[in-house]
Structure 1
Amino acid sequence: MASDLLTIGASGARAARSALDVTAQNIANANTEGYVRRSVSLEEVAGAGSAWRQQDLTLAGVRVAGVDRNVDLFRQSEVRRTSGDASRASAELQGLENIESAVEQARPYEAVVGFEAALRQLASDPLSSDLRAAAIGAAQSMAGAFNLASSSLGAVGAGATFSANAGVEDINSFATQIARINRNIARTGAGSSERATLLDQRDNLLGQMADTADVSISFKGDGQVAVRMGGASGPALVDGINTGTLNMSVQADGTLAFDVDGTAVTIASGELAGHASTLTAVNDARTQLDASANGIAAIVNSSQAAGVDRAGNSGQPLFSGTGAAGLTVATTDGAALATAPAGSGAQSLDGGNLSALIGALDSGGVASGLSNSIYQLSQRASDQQMTSDALGAIASGAKIALDQQSGVDLDQEAANLVRFQQAFQASARSMQAASDIFDTLLGVGR
């Protein structure tokens, strides 16, 4: 093995040049998202002596052993975990706020209160055509408010479903890209700049995947990764160069179910989990809204059946349809309101049946129950806001810790530029000194 001064100086110059190149890459990518700081790993070039003097050591300079990424797998894992939790909380918060807005802007509570107020006014003059028309108008407004609230909830659910479907497509796209990177990693040399770039791309994709859904990641010795959905025991989405397919289905109640190639998975974090939670909340809100609409329709129609209208005929149902979406007013004729008790004659001033209806609405707690449901929606959104803020702060702290460990410090890189430039110059000086020595030796015999 050559160990002359020129060879040693040349090896030092090559090593310093490689270190300068890597330092320049670090500086150029200081603000690149997902870039991990690189450093050059150097090792001494040494070899054993001759066959007769194997204990001797021949020194021949330095060489680049590889390009290392300044990465901490534990901190990366923490960033993925906390970011996934924060993404779920943020998506869930957005969904809850949309649900709250959908119900509040439709104003079903105010419409129920307005209908009850119209009935109380009618009680003061049961035969008044104007008051009867006002009561019918209030009933129509109430039905319209329930219809609008249900329609708005449907729009919230459709938006969450659309976003979830986009998330599923993203996950499958990430899986395909990670499998491709796994293949390329297997083809690159360990410690090469090409592999470092591929590993940066891989980690960036894994981070985006964790933001979207609950994934469990395991690393192989050659840098390839395996990705499972729904925890470490879940089905494999990526295994080497092989990929599975994440599928989403909408259940009868509007909620979501997920599977990987037919194997059901439960997604506990990421935006997909937040969208799934939103659809569950939409279903809960619709159930409560339907219960209120059905409850008030049942009370009013029961009261109608127990009394007679202004013409003395048996009262007919005022509301038809079921649920908040189907609630409609069956008649536009105010005379059809059965204000008088059964057995009363036409044009009866007896408002006993109307009073019983007002009492039934009060005791049934339709308005108060609806108000409580809306308050619970508001309270849940408020609580979720605090949760989202807390998880967002935790995720931000984890990312800061990772950036401090694996990010580029421009001050440090500036110092490295000077250090490696000096090392390059020193190696060049040693080669110049060797050349001068050889020239001197060659000139001795002249």
Structure 2
Amino acid sequence: MGADLLSIASSGARAAKAALDVTAQNISNASSEGYVRRSVSVAELSANSVSSSPTAINLGGVRVGGVVRNADSFRQSEVRRTGADAARADAEVQGLENIESAVEQTGVYDSIVNFEGSLQQLLSDPTDASLRASAIEQGRNLAQTFNVASSSLDAVSDGLHFEAQDGVDSVNLITSELAKVNLRLSRASDASSDQTSLLDQRDSLLEKLSKQVGISTSFGQNGVVSVSLGASSGPTLVSGGTASTFAMSIASDGTLGFTVDGTAATLASGSLAGKNQALTQLAANRTQLDDIATQVISVVNAAQASGVDLDGNAGQPLFSGTGAADITMIASGGSAIATAAAGSAANSRDASNLESLRTALTTADPAGSMNALLFDISSAVAGRTVTRDALDSVASSAKIALQAQAGVDLDHEAINLVRFQQAFQASGRVMQVASDIFDSILSIR
């Protein structure tokens, strides 16, 4: 028996009411982060009849199939991929900028130049006490600026390590939450409101996770997700309701190593990869800074050993230490500078050994090496900044493309409110007409 007019109208009213509810939900969550616009899925409802032929039009109204999330899995994957690359570049640039500030603002280059300048001034009168004291003071200042630069690099390294550990903790928290969402998804009814909310939560967690580490995903029944670190062949972070343990270790040079359940893993994208790249650059810059400090120590102390001081005694080392962190001026006064050649008498005005020291410093060129170090850091910052800006643009474009599809357009939703309200009223009017018809039929005598 075919469906009656009342049944058809009531099914239309139910569908319109469901659409109105979903539209209201879209509007109320328009500014909610991670919310994906919903729409109602409807299907034709046929009324079976024995007498119906296969080609006969035999409709029974409309059936609500469920709530549909308007999200494109490919676009979501692109947002995660491009976002991970942008996060890596941004973290690396921030780390490099901190390294640049640590080395440049401590004034090591200026201290080297000032120390060499004080030795040049001492040539004019090797026995002048004030010039000797100035040279010693400039040497002490040079040692201290090396110490400060090394300490500043330590502070940058400690900051990156702290941020990286926070990122690792965040990864473990997110993967644990994803495992819980997977368990709930496996028990949720298909296309239900609860399932769509869980899918929103799942996608939001995946996007947050991709900001920390690059990931690959695969989706199973009911939207349950499996997450791998890096490529799809990488170690598994989440499988069903189980989350692996992600951990990091710090090498002797300050760079990071990562493991998943104890197995070594390599990061290519995400902010953790960017921080590790910055730490790799920091380790190289620290080595260069130590080499420059060691160069100053060896050149000055070697020249000292070849001459005699103002009192006629064999020259003693001016500096001690093995690098930028522990270089120290150990001379007690200006008379310790060995300006005269070996065998010269006390208070000698001979400056041949001082000339040899200046020649050795000119040949070693610590100021030039420091300038090259500063240039390398600045060039790295400039180059990585260009890369970061380009990746940010790509990531923004991917996010805009997803937002255009999955985001809530209030103008569009306002139109839907009117449309579905009219559909609901029209269904109600059909029911009223059906009731009037039946009343008219029943009143026939």
The answer on whether the counterparts of 2:3 and 2:47 sit within 8 Å (CA) in structure 1 is no
**Structure 1 counterpart SS, 2:226:** strand
CA-to-aligned-CA distance 1:300-348 (integer Å, 9 cap, x gap): 0110111111122111111111110010012222111111111222221
**Structure 2 counterpart SS, 1:48:** coil
User: How many aligned positions are there?
Assistant: 444
CA-to-aligned-CA distance 1:272-321 (integer Å, 9 cap, x gap): 11111111111111111000000011000110111111122111111111
- 1:420 is matched with which residue? 420
Is 1:283 equivalent to 2:283 in the alignment? Answer: yes
Give 1:432 deviation, angstroms.
1.0
**Structure 1 counterpart SS, 2:393:** helix
- 1:13 is matched with which residue? 13
Q: Distance in 2 between matches of 1:293 and 1:431?
A: 92
Residues 211-290 of structure 1 aligned to structure 2 (within 5 Å): 211-290=211-290
Give 1:2 deviation, angstroms.
6.7
CA-to-aligned-CA distance 1:165-199 (integer Å, 9 cap, x gap): 00011111110111111111111111112111111
- 2:145 is matched with which residue? 145
- 1:45 is matched with which residue? 45
Amino acid corresponding to residue 332 of structure 1 in structure 2:
S
Amino acid corresponding to residue 242 of structure 2 in structure 1:
N
Q: Distance in 2 between matches of 1:295 and 1:259?
A: 38
Amino acid corresponding to residue 290 of structure 2 in structure 1:
D
**Structure 1 counterpart SS, 2:385:** helix
Give 1:53 deviation, angstroms.
6.1
Is 1:179 equivalent to 2:185 in the alignment? Answer: no
**Structure 1 counterpart SS, 2:68:** strand
Amino acid corresponding to residue 228 of structure 1 in structure 2:
S
Q: Aligned in 2, Cα 1:47/1:437: closer, same or farther, shift over 3 Å?
A: closer
The answer on whether the counterparts of 1:183 and 1:241 sit within 8 Å (CA) in structure 2 is yes
Residues 111-130 of structure 1 aligned to structure 2 (within 5 Å): 111-130=111-130
**Structure 2 counterpart SS, 1:190:** coil
Q: Distance in 1 between matches of 2:27 and 2:198?
A: 19
- 2:306 is matched with which residue? 306
The answer on whether the counterparts of 1:153 and 1:282 sit within 8 Å (CA) in structure 2 is yes
Give 1:221 deviation, angstroms.
3.1
- 2:109 is matched with which residue? 109
- 1:365 is matched with which residue? 365
CA-to-aligned-CA distance 1:125-176 (integer Å, 9 cap, x gap): 1111111111110110000000000000000010011000000111111101
**Structure 1 counterpart SS, 2:105:** helix
**Structure 2 counterpart SS, 1:152:** helix
- 2:87 is matched with which residue? 87
Q: Distance in 1 between matches of 2:173 and 2:57?
A: 54
The answer on whether the counterparts of 2:213 and 2:271 sit within 8 Å (CA) in structure 1 is yes
Give 1:37 deviation, angstroms.
1.0
Q: Distance in 2 between matches of 1:246 and 1:411?
A: 44
**Structure 1 counterpart SS, 2:43:** strand
- 1:332 is matched with which residue? 332
- 2:60 is matched with which residue? 60
The answer on whether the counterparts of 1:218 and 1:227 sit within 8 Å (CA) in structure 2 is yes
Root-mean-square deviation (CA), in Å? 1.4
Please list every run of 5 or more consecutive structure 1 residues that lacks an aligned counterpart in the other structure: none
Give 1:438 deviation, angstroms.
1.5
Q: Distance in 1 between matches of 2:231 and 2:314?
A: 63
- 1:206 is matched with which residue? 206
Please list every run of 5 or more consecutive structure 2 residues that lacks an aligned counterpart in the other structure: none
- 1:25 is matched with which residue? 25
Give 1:49 deviation, angstroms.
2.5
The answer on whether the counterparts of 1:47 and 1:57 sit within 8 Å (CA) in structure 2 is no
The answer on whether the counterparts of 1:248 and 1:256 sit within 8 Å (CA) in structure 2 is yes
Give 1:7 deviation, angstroms.
1.3
**Structure 2 counterpart SS, 1:282:** helix
Q: Distance in 1 between matches of 2:230 and 2:305?
A: 55
Q: Distance in 2 between matches of 1:234 and 1:78?
A: 18
Q: Distance in 1 between matches of 2:147 and 2:245?
A: 38
Is 1:410 equivalent to 2:396 in the alignment? Answer: no
The answer on whether the counterparts of 2:2 and 2:48 sit within 8 Å (CA) in structure 1 is no
Amino acid corresponding to residue 386 of structure 1 in structure 2:
V
The answer on whether the counterparts of 2:2 and 2:47 sit within 8 Å (CA) in structure 1 is no
- 1:385 is matched with which residue? 385
Amino acid corresponding to residue 355 of structure 1 in structure 2:
E
The answer on whether the counterparts of 1:48 and 1:57 sit within 8 Å (CA) in structure 2 is no
